[in-house]
Amino acid sequence: MKNWILAVALVCVIPACVTINIYFPAAAAEKAADKIIDDVWQLKNGGSKPAEPATESATEQ
């Protein structure tokens, strides 16, 4: 009986080792892609704000 449990565990573990080796980390790849795209297209460097002082009408004559 105990041998059977061990056998079942091994049967689960051995193919899993193979699976882990070929497993493509889709979520990590998306994260990496986002980071690179943000860098290349400069989407997150604060440069998107043109810093327009648009509310200065009070100082006009």
Per CB under 8 A, residues contacting other proteins are 2-3, 5-6, 8-10, 12-13, 16, 20, 22-43
Minimum CB distance to other proteins, residue 48 (Å): 11
Residue with smaller CB distance to other proteins, 2 or 49: 2
Report residue 47 as tokens.
Answer: 């440069």
- What is the spatial distance between Cα 61 and Cα 22, in angstroms, rounded to a whole number? 71
- What is the spatial distance between Cα 44 and Cα 35, in angstroms, rounded to a whole number? 9
Minimum CB distance to other proteins, residue 45 (Å): 11
Residue with smaller CB distance to other proteins, 3 or 57: 3
Assign residue 26 a region: left if phi > 0, alpha if psi is -120 to 50, beta otherwise? alpha
